[in-house]
Amino acid sequence: MEEEKIGIENIEINNDNMEKTNLQEENNFSQEKNNKKNKRKDACLFATGILATLAFVGVIILLCMEFCKKDNANTISAAPKAAIQNGDLKIAYIDTDSILLQYEYAKDLDKGLKSYQASLEANYQSTGLQLQKDIENYMKTGDKLTLTQQKQKEEELAKRQQDFPVLQQKMMTQLQERQLEDNKKLLNAVYAFIKDYNSKNQKFNIILSKAYVSSPILYADESFDITKEIIEGLNKEYKEVKK
Cα separation values, 128 from 58, 88, 229, Å? 87, 64, 49
> What pLDDT score does 31 carry?
52
CA 135 – CA 79 distance, rounded (Å): 78
Amino acid at 89: L
- Say whether pLDDT at 154 is over 60: yes
Predicted confidence band at 149 (pLDDT cuts at 50, 70, 90)?
Answer: very high
> What pLDDT score does 41 carry?
45
- Say whether pLDDT at 49 is over 50: no
> What pLDDT score does 34 carry?
52
Query: Please, which residues have CB within 8 angstroms of residue 100's CB and are 6 or more apart in sequence?
Result: 106
Span 47-60, average pLDDT: 40
Element (H, E) at 9: helix 2-86
- Counting beta carbons within 10 angstroms of the beta carbon of residue 198, is it exposed (0 to 12), middle (13 to 18) or buried (19 or more)? middle
Domain segments of the chain: what residues? 1-88, 91-242
> What pLDDT score does 201 carry?
82
Closest by CA to 156, choosing from 148, 144, 165, is 148
Span 213-217, average pLDDT: 78
Flag the least confident range among 1-5, 123-127, 175-179.
1-5
> What pLDDT score does 32 carry?
52
Q: What is the pLDDT of residues 7-17, one digit of tens each?
A: 434 434 444 44
> What pLDDT score does 198 carry?
92
- Say whether pLDDT at 234 is over 80: yes
- The whole-chain average pLDDT of the chain stands at 75
Q: What is the pLDDT of residues 159-205, one digit of tens each?
A: 999 999 999 999 999 999 999 999 999 999 999 999 999 988 878 99
Q: What is the pLDDT of residues 56-112, one digit of tens each?
A: 334 333 334 444 444 444 443 443 333 343 567 889 999 999 999 999 999 999 999
